[in-house]
């Protein structure tokens, strides 16, 4: 078994706090764990201040970037957790619309939608972490 940790230059640098990606490879299977992504660009500038949809779009863009750095795509995601500050049932439609931009219907990963009081920074409205699997024989 081989495991390694990455902080790609294409993502915000949080390396003093955690690794953006952990990868475990065994028997031709690569399991990828992506740390919680938030609505900031590579320079940590907030995208969509106070706007859930814009922060979600940046968050999923960051997730897509993280996966690409280890030769994976959104189609490889098998599990996601979505954390939303002060979640309201009316947020579900927005969340579903953004998810639909990144995943094919009928091939959605297992996911949990969790309402939280706060995230790491007050300005963050949403955070998404994910697990993906790549089989080199596929």
Residue 138 has pLDDT above 90, yes or no: no
pLDDT digits (tens, 9 = 90+) for 79-113: 999 999 999 999 999 999 999 999 998 899 999 99
Q: Do 115 and 75 meet the contact criterion of CB atoms below 8 Å apart?
A: no
pLDDT digits (tens, 9 = 90+) for 6-62: 999 999 999 999 999 999 999 999 999 999 999 999 999 999 999 999 999 999 999
Q: Do 125 and 39 meet the contact criterion of CB atoms below 8 Å apart?
A: yes
3-state DSSP of the chain: CEEEEECCCCCCCCCCCCCCEEEEEECCEEEEEEEEECCECCCCCECCCCCHHHHHHHHHHHHHHHHHCCCCCHHHEEEEEEEEECCCCCHHHHHHHHHHHHCCCCCCCEEEEEEECCCCCCCCCEEEEEEEEEECCC
Tokens read off for 130: 């994910």
Domains and CATH numbers, the chain: 2-135 (3.30.1330.40)
Banded pLDDT at 136 (limits 50, 70, 90):
confident
Q: Please, what is the angle between helix 91-102 and helix 52-68, to 10°?
A: 30
**What gap in Å lies between CA 52 and CA 27, rounded to an integer?**
40
């Amino acid at each position: 078994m081989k495991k390694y940790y990455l902080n790609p230059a294409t993502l915000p640098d949080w390396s003093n706090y955690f690794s953006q990606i952990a990868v475990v490879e065994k028997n031709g299977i690569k399991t990828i764990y992506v740390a919680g992504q938030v609505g900031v660009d590579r320079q940590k500038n907030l995208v969509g201040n106070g706007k859930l949809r814009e922060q979600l779009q940046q968050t999923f863009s960051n997730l897509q970037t993280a996966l690409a750095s280890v030769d994976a795509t959104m189609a490889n995601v098998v599990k996601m957790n979505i954390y939303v500050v002060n979640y309201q049932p009316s947020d579900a439609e927005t969340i579903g619309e953004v998810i639909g931009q990144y995943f094919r219907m009928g091939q959605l990963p297992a996911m949990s939608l969790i309402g939280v009081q706060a995230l790491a920074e007050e300005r963050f409205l949403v955070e998404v972490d994910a697990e993906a699997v790549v089989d080199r024989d596929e």
